[in-house]
């Protein structure tokens, strides 16, 4: 006679593709949760024998399951995991990222205290392969005020760019209502679209101020590749535009317009910097002017004017500035590590 397992509270949806060096750390961060009522569904999204072997090495832990399939893309991997999930709360977790031990405890407490709350997001640490910790996720997207979990996020908030970290806890019913990642395409960021759809559909989404996860910034990630960064920027901008038809409120449309201008400003400034380093002064000047057209900042104006009046000087100064900034950041990082050991 078989004994049925109790249903888990949390279902972690993990798609794995070419993340063999990191997968064990990801699994161990789930196993290290202070709550034990979870399941982890790992989708071997490309039939890697090594990934399958890693997951099978945890066969003694019945909470961890393996699914193997041909590569159906990131969204297809998450959707395959969601189709088998048994938990009350769905949590996407990439196969190279980590959880803090109290992720389940903190998000679960909020969801259990109020059935009217449909999803809980959080902040996260950004870290590199050498263990160095960068600024938090919310700070990296410009979130300067401390989130208050007692206040639901509004569509205006999200259209302004205040999107929770991708790993959150979403009630099964809410996930199903917005189809999770199912209809996301490679032209958008699936997690951003899902958060936007949740709020646009009237679901109650809260944000915890704690950093309950760790996001790995890899050397081979899109954040280190110029073409990947530009493609990511375009996907982010399209993601925000997916729900514009859901509202006619002036506050929402103003927030979206301001956010898109901010994104395009930073995109143009980054392109100007890259063109300058490549020696294309004409392109650098065009991009600096494009940045100024989006946001009339002193920085953009100075860069555009300097490129017009002193192009060669700017080209020589920029690498010096980069090296000085890197040295300063390295010194600050070393001092922070020393303080943390005290």
Q: pLDDT tens across 176-195, in order?
A: 999 999 988 889 999 999 99
CATH of domain 10-222: 3.90.550.10
Task: Check: CB of residue 273 under 8 Å from CB of residue 223.
Answer: no
In sequence order, the β-bridge partners of residue 60 are none
Cα 221 from Cα 274, distance rounded (Å): 18
> Over pLDDT 70: what percentage of the chain?
86
Q: Average the pLDDT over each of 11-20, 112-121, 262-271 and give the range with the smallest value.
A: 262-271
The residues of the chain that CATH labels 3.90.550.10 are 10-222
Task: Give tens-digit pLDDT for 101-148.
Answer: 999 999 999 999 999 999 999 999 999 887 667 789 999 888 888 899
Cα 72 from Cα 308, distance rounded (Å): 48
The predicted pLDDT at position 131 comes to 67
Task: Check: CB of residue 101 under 8 Å from CB of residue 210.
Answer: no
Task: Give tens-digit pLDDT for 71-93.
Answer: 999 999 999 999 999 999 999 99
Cα 104 from Cα 169, distance rounded (Å): 8
* Mean local confidence (pLDDT), 261-285: 87
Task: Check: CB of residue 15 under 8 Å from CB of residue 68.
Answer: no
Bridge-based pairing state of the strands 89-92 and 10-16: parallel
In sequence order, the β-bridge partners of residue 45 are 69
The predicted pLDDT at position 127 comes to 92
The predicted pLDDT at position 68 comes to 98
Q: Average the pLDDT over each of 2-6, 12-16, 226-230 and give the range with the smallest value.
A: 2-6
Residue 330 reports pLDDT greater than 60: no
The predicted pLDDT at position 333 comes to 41
């Amino acid at each position: 006679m078989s004994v049925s397992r109790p249903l888990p509270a949390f279902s972690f949806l993990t798609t794995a593709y070419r993340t063999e060096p990191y997968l064990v750390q990801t699994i161990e961060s789930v196993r290290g949760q202070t709550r034990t009522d979870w399941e982890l569904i790992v989708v071997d999204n490309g039939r890697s024998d090594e990934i399958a072997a890693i997951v099978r090495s945890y066969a003694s832990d019945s909470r961890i399951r393996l699914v193997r399939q041909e590569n159906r893309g990131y969204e297809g991997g998450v959707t395959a995991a969601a189709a088998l999930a048994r938990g009350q709360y769905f949590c996407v977790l990439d196969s190279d990222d980590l959880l803090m031990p109290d992720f389940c405890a903190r998000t679960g407490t909020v969801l259990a205290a109020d059935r009217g709350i449909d999803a809980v997001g959080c902040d996260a640490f950004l870290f590199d392969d050498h263990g160095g910790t960068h600024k938090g996720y919310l700070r990296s997207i410009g979130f300067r005020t401390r989130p208050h979990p007692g206040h639901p996020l509004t569509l205006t908030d999200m259209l302004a760019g205040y999107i929770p970290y991708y790993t959150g806890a979403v009630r099964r019913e809410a996930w199903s209502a917005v189809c999770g990642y199912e209809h996301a395409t490679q032209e958008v960021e699936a997690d951003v679209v899902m958060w936007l759809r949740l709020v646009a559909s009237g679901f109650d989404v809260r944000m915890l101020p704690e950093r309950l996860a760790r996001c790995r910034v890899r050397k081979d990630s899109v954040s280190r590749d110029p073409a990947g960064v530009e493609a990511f920027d375009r996907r982010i901008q399209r993601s925000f535009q997916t729900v514009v038809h859901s509202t006619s409120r002036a506050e929402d449309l103003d927030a979206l317009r301001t956010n898109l201008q901010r994104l395009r400003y930073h995109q143009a400034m980054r392109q100007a910097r890259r063109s300058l380093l490549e020696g294309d002064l004409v392109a650098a000047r065009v991009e600096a002017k494009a940045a100024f057209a989006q946001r009339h900042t002193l920085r953009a104006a100075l860069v555009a004017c300097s490129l017009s009046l002193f192009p060669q000087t700017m080209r020589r100064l920029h690498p010096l500035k980069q090296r000085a900034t890197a040295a300063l950041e390295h010194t600050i990082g070393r001092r922070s590590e020393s303080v943390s050991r005290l």
